[in-house]
Amino acid sequence: MEVINIETFQRFFHQLVLLYRPFENRLNTELSKHQLYRAQWSIMYYMYNDGSVTLVELSHYLGVEKPTVTRTIAKLEEMGYLEPVPTKDKREKRMQLTSAGRKVYQEVRATIDEFEQEILEGISEEEQLEGIRLMSLIRKNLMQGEF
Amino acid sequence: MEVINIETFQRFFHQLVLLYRPFENRLNTELSKHQLYRAQWSIMYYMYNDGSVTLVELSHYLGVEKPTVTRTIAKLEEMGYLEPVPTKDKREKRMQLTSAGRKVYQEVRATIDEFEQEILEGISEEEQLEGIRLMSLIRKNLMQGEF
DNA sequence: AGTAATAGTTATCAAGAGTAACTAATTATG
DNA sequence: CATAATTAGTTACTCTTGATAACTATTACT
């Protein structure tokens, strides 16, 4: 087993920073074809996979504050992609995708899948899975104590 | 060898988005102890390792537009961390860290190293190196054709 | 019943990035 | 060599996405 080299630590996170900007740029380019932004897409993604969610759930999941979620949700509702789901607790605002929202999700997903496959070229599924594992581990370490 | 599963593509990039936000939050918290921001730090990092650079070099390296670099550089110069290096080409603005800049860099690096080691807990150097390799590969795919 | 905590909103601010349009300097071309 | 094209950087302006503080309404706790 090798000794942990301090240079590795540096390079890992610097690389993350360097990767994220071009990635987000490209993602936004794809999303703009559907008049959507990254923050909106993240919420639609979560809802498509997990059904109805409250704003607090979203806030925890995305790691952003409640006012940020309120604004993005309001915009998506205005666009007709989200609708409220009645709940017992009257404080809660539970939302789900409308049928229009699900339709747009599927269209966007087709575009995004294409672009993602393109930039993951030359990377095996095994490597990708290892990457996912790494990222979720780091995320867990980061969120330790938050929320 | 396994067949590439479409679900893996989705999850990889969604995981990247989910990792980046808490990471940047935490990084900014560390940097705020030194009155610095992420964008400024990225530039200092690049300069410390690569010596003097022009704004265009920075723009390519960081994947942002020139006006963004201009602004950040101006702020760092005002703070006394950067100084211009004379060049033959009078259009160019070549910059390097001042001694104050190098001093601050080293101080910040101590803080950042600590935090990075903390959140990379439980991840072997081998895995980290694999992660770095993956990220730079994807970055290369992403930047294909840009610039 | 009265206090705590929770969910969400409103208002305001800031970082950081982009685009368009520009100047000054250098290279290329005809 | 003179002029056109390219390159480096700047200025002015806009936008997205996030944060904080202070608030209301509802629910849970003691």
Written as one letter, the residue type at B119 is I
Give the pLDDT confidence of B2-54 residue by residue, as tens digits: 444 445 555 888 999 999 999 999 999 999 999 999 999 999 999 998 889 99
Residue showing tokens 């601050």 = B104
Residue A15 CB neighbour total at 10 angstroms:
19
Contacts of A37 (CB under 8 A, 6+ apart): A28, A31
Cβ of A46 near strand D (under 7 Å)? The reply is no
Please tell me if residue B114 touches chain A, with a CB cutoff of 8 Å: no
Contacts of B106 (CB under 8 A, 6+ apart): none
- Of A86-100, A109-123, B91-105, which range is least confident? A109-123
CB nearest B19 (choices: A26, A130, A135): A135
Please tell me if residue B107 touches chain A, with a CB cutoff of 8 Å: no
Q: In this predicted model, which residue has the larger pLDDT, B67 or B49?
A: B67
CB nearest B22 (choices: A12, A130, A142): A142
Give the pLDDT confidence of A33-45 residue by residue, as tens digits: 999 999 999 999 9
In this prediction, residue B147 carries a pLDDT of 43
> CA B113, CA B92: separation in Å to the nearest integer?
33
Most distant CA pair in chain A, distance: 56
Confidence band (pLDDT; 50, 70, 90) for B69? Answer: very high
Cβ of A25 near strand C (under 7 Å)? The reply is yes
> CA B91, CA A123: separation in Å to the nearest integer?
41
The CATH number of B13-143 is: 1.10.10.10
Looking at the domain A19-143, which fold is it?
Arc Repressor Mutant, subunit A (1.10.10)
Between chains, do A116 and B62 touch, taking CB under 8 Å as contact?
A: no
Nearest residue to A10 (alpha-carbon basis) of B2, B115, B35 = B115
